[in-house]
């Protein structure tokens, strides 16, 4: 019996030792200290931006297309050449148009001769009508005196009416020849214009930025159904702009004359200045159905003073930029000076149905919410989770989860409207701890940011 009691004593003692070990291990786990970096909230200037990518293009880029069709027999410029307004650029084979002009000129001369003949017939008809009128007046008196017979009087009247009709016909024929002359002269004007258009001249000063044809190629003239063959482009490279695509989510913040910072791939580590000049009212859509992307085209004028040191007047093309160069633009949509802010990575989101209620927070109005459906007793129920923004405030080697309201942000800092006072230390890293693992009241150890990364590598 005593041996049995001793056995139970050993068993109970072993269990107690195991419980003590478990409690010690659990206590050590609960006392785990997380290394974090922290930074004080302070007043800063925050510039909110919208980023977009696009291409550089001339503000004035004229496409040169011929009015007429034919073979290009001469090109007087090459790509990159500078031209002045009125300089000849190219010539289209004029043979057909010259022949057509000669035919039209002959037709004009023929119609003019017909008009002169019709005019002579009018003069002849007027003379005959005048003679018939005199005969009519003289015989009318004789008829009243009953000197001539009724038959003679009828013949005189008939001759008078015939002469009047012949005069009217001659006059109408003359009018018709006048219209024919006008029509032929219009055709002559068109033929001369077509012949003139075989020579293509520069409509404005600029640089030949693109040459699309060579001598010997055939081109098609412009019509109401087609713009014709593009021969070349003349661009004013003194005024360059960037055409970018801005997302539909960001376009409401963009305004005319907003200041922009422009990075050009060809000039690394340098930013140029510009301002918004045009905002499209209609969207450009790409893709189909749910995958379609909706963007709005925005044009940004580059300020010449921001790249004046790159201009080389000794070169044929003095501008440092070429049409089609890639550029990244930051459109400055809002700026606040001396406002309370913290590093943007310090702000995290937590669900109000979990963390928020855990700390006795009252549900307030938010801008982001999600609804999740769960099965309760075999029926569908909806639980609304309101997502709020929080920061971890460092107090005496512990962190306190604090709800905040934020304002605008830039790439580094975010404005704090409510929840944190100036000078408060907020946890800035590591990201995984801020976003997921840290809890309210956790023990932490503040270290320098570079030391934090070193410890993470280890």
DSSP type of residue 362? P
Q: Which of 95, 92, 85 is CA-nearest to residue 231?
A: 92
For residue 242, what are the CA distances in angstroms to 161, 307, 331? 81, 14, 12
Question: Topology of 31-45+341-457 in CATH?
Answer: 2.40.420
| Beta strand ranges found along 314-378 (DSSP E) | 326-343, 348-351, 369-376
CA angle 360, 369, 362 (to 5 degrees): 20
Which of 446, 439, 357, 350 shows the shortest CA–CA distance to 397?
Answer: 446
Report if pTM > 0.75: no
CATH entry 2.40.50.140 includes domain 65-93+198-234: no
Residues 6+ apart with CB under 8 A from 311: 304, 318, 319, 320
Q: Which CATH number fits domain 96-196: 1.10.3470, 2.60.40, 1.10.287, 3.30.160?
A: 1.10.287
| pLDDT tens-digit series, residues 376-427 | 444 444 455 567 899 999 988 889 999 999 999 988 999 999 999 999 999 9
The domain ranges of the chain are 31-45+341-457, 49-57+236-334, 65-93+198-234, 96-196
CB 368 within 8 A of CB 385: no
> Whole-angstrom Cα distance, residue 435 to residue 32?
18
Indicate the helix (H) or strand (E) that contains 148. none
Q: Please give the torsion angle defined by the CA atoms of residues 24, 27, 31 and 32, in that order, rounded to the nearest 10 degrees.
A: 70
Question: Which is higher by pLDDT, 23 or 120?
Answer: 120
Per residue in 125-181, pLDDT tens?
A: 999 989 888 988 888 888 888 888 888 888 888 988 998 898 899 899 999 999 999
* pLDDT, average across residues 67-91: 92
> What was the pLDDT predicted at 269?
86
Would you say the CATH fold of 96-196 matches that of 31-45+341-457?
A: no
Please, which residues bridge with residue 244 across strands? 54, 298
Looking at 308-358, list the stretches that DSSP marks H as alpha helix, in order from N- to C-terminal side: 357-358
Q: What is the DSSP letter of 303?
A: P
Q: What average pLDDT does the structure give for the chain?
A: 84
**Residues 205-231, mean pLDDT to the nearest whole number:** 88
- The CATH code that applies to domain 49-57+236-334 is 2.40.30.170
Give CA–CA dist 128/170, Å, rounded: 12
> Averaged over 4-9, what is the pLDDT?
60
What are the DSSP E strand ranges found in 76-168?
82-83, 88-92
Average pLDDT score over residue span 26-44:
76
Rounded CA-CA distance 299/275 in Å is: 9
Which residue shows structure tokens 């909806």? 382
Helix (H, G, I), strand (E, B) or coil at 457: helix
Please check whether residue 431 is in contact with residue 448, taking contact to mean a CB–CB distance below 8 angstroms: no
């Amino acid at each position: 019996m005593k041996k049995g009691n001793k056995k139970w004593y050993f068993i109970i003692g072993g269990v107690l030792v195991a419980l003590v070990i478990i409690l010690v291990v659990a206590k050590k786990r609960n006392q785990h200290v997380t290394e974090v970096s922290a930074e004080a909230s302070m007043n800063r200037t925050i510039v909110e931006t919208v980023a977009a990518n696009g291409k550089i293009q001339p503000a004035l880029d004229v496409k040169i297309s011929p009015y007429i069709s034919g073979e290009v027999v001469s090109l007087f410029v090459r790509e990159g050449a500078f031209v002045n307004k009125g300089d000849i650029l190219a010539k289209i084979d004029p043979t057909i148009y010259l022949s057509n002009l000669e035919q039209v000129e002959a037709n004009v001369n023929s119609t003019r001769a017909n008009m002169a003949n019709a005019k002579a017939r009018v003069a002849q008809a007027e003379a005959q009508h005048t003679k018939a009128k005199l005969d009519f007046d003289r015989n009318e008196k004789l008829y009243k005196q009953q000197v001539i017979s009724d038959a003679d009087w009828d013949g005189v009247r008939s001759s008078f009416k015939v002469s009047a009709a012949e005069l009217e016909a001659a006059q109408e024929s003359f009018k018709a020849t006048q219209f024919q002359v006008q029509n032929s002269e219009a055709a002559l004007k068109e033929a001369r214009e077509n012949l003139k258009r075989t020579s293509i001249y520069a409509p404005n000063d600029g640089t030949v930025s693109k040459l699309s044809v060579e001598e010997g190629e055939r081109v098609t003239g412009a019509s109401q159904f087609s713009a014709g063959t593009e021969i070349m482009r003349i661009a004013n490279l003194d005024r360059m702009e960037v055409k970018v695509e801005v997302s539909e989510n960001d376009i409401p913040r963009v305004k005319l004359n907003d200041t922009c910072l422009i990075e050009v791939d060809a000039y690394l580590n340098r930013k140029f200045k510009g301002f918004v000049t045009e905002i499209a009212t209609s969207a450009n859509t790409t893709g189909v159905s749910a995958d379609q992307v909706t963007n709005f085209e925005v044009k940004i004028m580059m300020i010449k003073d921001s790249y004046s040191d790159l201009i080389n007047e000794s070169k044929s093309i003095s501008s440092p930029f070429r049409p089609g160069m890639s550029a990244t633009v930051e459109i400055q949509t809002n700026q606040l000076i001396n406002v309370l802010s913290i590093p943007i990575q310090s702000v995290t989101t937590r669900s109000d149905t979990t963390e928020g209620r855990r700390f006795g927070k009252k549900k307030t109005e938010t801008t982001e919410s999600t609804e999740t459906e769960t099965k309760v007793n075999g029926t569908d129920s909806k639980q609304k989770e309101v997502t709020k923004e929080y920061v971890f405030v460092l107090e005496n080697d512990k962190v306190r989860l604090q709800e905040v309201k934020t304002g605008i942000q830039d790439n580094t800092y975010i404005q704090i409207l409510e929840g944190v006072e100036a000078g408060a230390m907020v946890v800035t890293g590591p990201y995984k701890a801020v976003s997921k693992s840290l809890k309210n009241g956790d023990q932490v150890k503040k270290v320098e940011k570079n030391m934090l990364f070193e410890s993470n590598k280890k």
